[in-house]
Structure 1
Amino acid sequence: MNSSKEQEEKLTTLINSMVDFVNFKDGEGRWIKANDFGLKLFQLENVDYHGKKDSELARYTDFYREALLHCESSDEQTWQNGKITRCEEEIPIPDGSTKYFDTIKVPLFNEDGTRKALVVIGRDITDKKIAEEQVRRSEKLSIVGELAASVGHEIRNPLTSIKGFLQLLKEQNKENNTYYDIMCKELNRIDHIVGELLLLAKPQKVFFSKNDLNIIVSDIVSLLEPQANMNNIRIRFEQKENVMIECEENLLKQLFINLIKNAIEASNEKGNVWVNINKNSNEDVFVTVEDEGLGISEEILTKLGEPFYSSKEKGTGLGLTVSSKIVEQHGGTISFYSKEGIGTKVEVHLPINSKKRR
C-alpha cells in the first residue's frame, strides 16, 4: 500500500515538474490525474476533479466551458481513430489573448478492445506561433519590397509625363474639365500608392534626434483638422507638457498622419476622434488614436498591417504596413483594438530613449 502511494507521489512530482499540460483519463473520459499546469490553465485549482468528465468540469468555469466541451469531443475523435492523434488546440486566456497547444492524445485499450485510458499531453507553442507569424509577415513585406524596387520607379516616370500632358490638355480644353479632374485624381492616387511602395522597397537609414512628441502630434492634428471639419468630425487632442523623445521626426509625422486620417475616414458624421499622449514612465510613452466609427471585425483585425489587405473599398493596406514599419524602426509596438458598432483604438508604444529600442 505504501509502495503504491509512494509511486503516486513520484508520478505527481514528475508531471508537476513538466512545462506541458499533462492529463490522465480513464476509458470513460473521467479525469484521474492532472498536473498543476493544466489545473491552472483551466482555472480548476480548487476543484475536486477526480472522476469527473470534461463536460462536468465545464460547470465550474464559465470562461473555459466551451474549451472543455471541445476537449471532450476531441477525445472522442481520438478513440474513434483508435491510434495516437496529434492536433493543434487554441485555449482562450482571460486577458483576451490566446494560447496555442500542440496536443498529443494516446488511447490505451484493454485486450478485449475496450477503452482503458487516455493520456493527453499539450505543449504550449504560443511563442512559436507568434514567431512564425512574424516570419510570414516579414517574408510578405520582403516580397512587396522586391516588387516595389523593380516596378516603382518604372511606374512613376511615365506617370509624371502623363500628369504633365493631362494638365496641358486641361488648360487647352475647358469643356471636359470634369473628366480631367477625375483622371488627375486617379493618377494622384496611383502616385500615392507608388510612393508607399517605394517606402517599403529598401531599408532607410534613420537618424534619431530629440523632439517634442507633443509638438509632432499637435502639428499633424492641425494639418488634418480641415479634412475632419469637412466631414463634421472633431479631433479632440489635449496638449500635454513636453514629452521629449528620440525619434526620426518626419517618420513619426507620417505615422500619425496615417493613423489619424484612418480614424477620420472610419468615423461617422458628427463623430469624434480622440488623440492622447500618455507618458508611462521615464522610458516609455503611449500615443492612442481612437474613433467612434463602425469598428472592425475580429477576422479583419488580425490581418491589419499586412500589405494589400484593407477593409476600405479602395484601400491597399500599405498605409498601415508603412506605419507598422515606422513603429518597428523606433523599437516600439503598435496594437489595434476594435468592436463592431463601437469604434477602433490604435495604441502606439514608443521607447523615449533610442537606446531602449527592442
Structure 2
Amino acid sequence: MNSEMNTGSMRIEAVSAYRSIVLCTIVLIALSLWCGHVMGQAEWRPSRNIELVVQAGAGGASDRAARTLQKIMQEKRLVDASSTVVNKAGGGGALAYNYVNQHAGDAHYVLMSSGTLLTSHVIGQNPFRRTDFTPLAILCAEYSAFVVRADSPLTDGKALLAQLVSNPQDVRIALSPGLGNANHIALAMAVKAAGGDVKRLKVVVFPSAPETITALLGGHVDLVVSPASPVLPHLAASTVRILAVSSAQRLPGALAGAPTWRELGADAVYGNWRGVLGPKGLTDPQVTYWSGVFSRLVATPEWKEDVDKNLLAHQFIGGHESRQFLEAEYRQISALMKDIGLAK
C-alpha cells in the first residue's frame, strides 16, 4: 500500500514539475520576444536618405523653411543620414499629402505642414484629415496683424472691435489668399470674443498679402488682416498702423508696440502653426526619434535667428503632445467655421 502511494505521489510530483518547466519555458520565450520587440523599436534610426516633402514649389515660404531645416540638420549633425527637399506642388497640397501617405509607416518621409491642413479639410477643400498623418512636432507659429492706414479714424483696437460689432458693414476688410485661412480665423475669433456676428463682416479676398496693403493705401479697404512681414516696410514708412495682433503675448522687434487682443479685452489668440508630420502608422520610437531631433534643432541659434528674421513666434510642441494640439485646434476651427458659414 505504502509503495503504491509513494509511486502515485512521485507521478504527481513529476507531472507538476513538468508543467512548471513548460510554463517557465513559455514565459521565458514570451519575455524574450517582448524584449526583442522593445529593444528593436527603441533603436530606430534612419537607415537611408530622408525626404523633406514640401507642398509648394521652390522659393516659397514652406520651401525655404524645409531648406533651413535641412541645412541645420546637416551642419549640426542632428541626423545620421542624408536628406533632400522634395517639392510636390499642386492640388492645394493634395499631391504632397498623397505622396507622403504612399509610404505609411516609413519615418524616412517628413512633410512640411501648417494650419492649412486643418482648415482646408474643415471647409471641404481637401479630403485629407489630420488623422491621415503622424504629428512629429510643431515648430513655430505666424500671427496676424490688424492694420489700418496711418490716417484712419479707427484710433485703436478697442475702437475697431466696437465698430465691427455695432456696424460691421461699414468696415471693408481685406484678406488673402482665401476665406477660411488663418487671417480670417483670427478676425472671426476677435469679433466673436467681443460679441459680434462674424457672418455680417464685409470681407474682400485678394490673391496676396501685398495686394491687400496696396488696396488699403489706395483707400479701397479700411482694414487689412495679414501676416506681419508684408506690413513692416509700410510700418517703417509710417503709412500704416497696427491696431492689434492675434498672439497671446506681444511680438518682438518692430511689432512690440502692437497690443494683443487679450490686452484689449478680447480673448482671441490664433496663429498659423508651422510643423512637421510623418506618414500614417509611425511607431512610438519613430515619433520619439524625430521629436528629439526637432527639439534640438529649435534650440540652435541658427533656427532662432531664422524665426525672428521671418517675424514668426517660437512655439515648440513635440511628439505626442503635438497630436493633442492638432486635435484641439481642429475642434476649435470646426466650431468657428460653422459660425462663419463656411462649414456645416
TM-score range, shorter chain: under 0.3
Return the structure number with greater relative CO, CA threshold 8 A, min gap 6.
Answer: 2
Could you tell me the TM-score, scaled by structure 2's length? 0.21
Could you tell me the TM-score, scaled by structure 1's length? 0.20
